[in-house]
Amino acid sequence: MGSRMEAWLRVLGIVVLAFGVGLGAYAATRALGDTEFAEVVTRYERHPEHPLFQAEYYAAAVRHYGLVAGAVGGIFGGLVFGSLLLGIASVLARTEDSTPVSAPPPETQKAG
């Protein structure tokens, strides 16, 4: 039973690692290629007091910084949680390899 649990933890760790890093890389690629945000920033810098440019900037900033947060969170989360699952699988494999030795209970010393 434990070997199946170890195998499932390894598979889940690899999937979480790959999914997190892949999602983070996709979000980073989208954030780096966000030319619309750069255009909105230049328009907003020319007219910072105009409410329409402010609203356009805030909407573009939410999307752009959300992509940045998704990139950082995806890569960091995938690495941390995938490694955690793989580490638990390794610990489980080591505890299965070491069979417990049935030793007699320690004798108590009597005073006297």
Q: Is residue 29 part of a domain?
A: yes
Q: Is residue 52 part of a domain?
A: yes
Owning domain of residue 59: 2-97
Using pLDDT thresholds of 50, 70 and 90, give the confidence band for residue 93.
confident
Q: Is residue 110 part of a domain?
A: no
For the record, the structure tokens of 39 come out as: 């255009």
Phi-psi region of 37 (alpha: psi -120 to 50; beta: other; left: phi over 0): alpha
The predicted pLDDT at position 101 comes to 59
Q: Is residue 57 part of a domain?
A: yes
Choose among 90, 93, 40: nearest CA to 65.
40
pLDDT single digits (tens) 38-76: 999 999 999 989 999 999 999 999 999 999 999 999 999
Q: Is residue 61 part of a domain?
A: yes
The number of domains in the chain is 1
The predicted pLDDT at position 112 comes to 58
User: By CB neighbour count within 10 A (0-12 exposed, 13-18 middle, 19+ buried), where does 73 fall?
Assistant: middle
Enter the pTM of the model.
Answer: 0.73
The predicted pLDDT at position 102 comes to 63
Confidence check: pLDDT of 28 > 70:
yes
Eight-state DSSP code of residue 71: H
Q: Is residue 103 part of a domain?
A: no
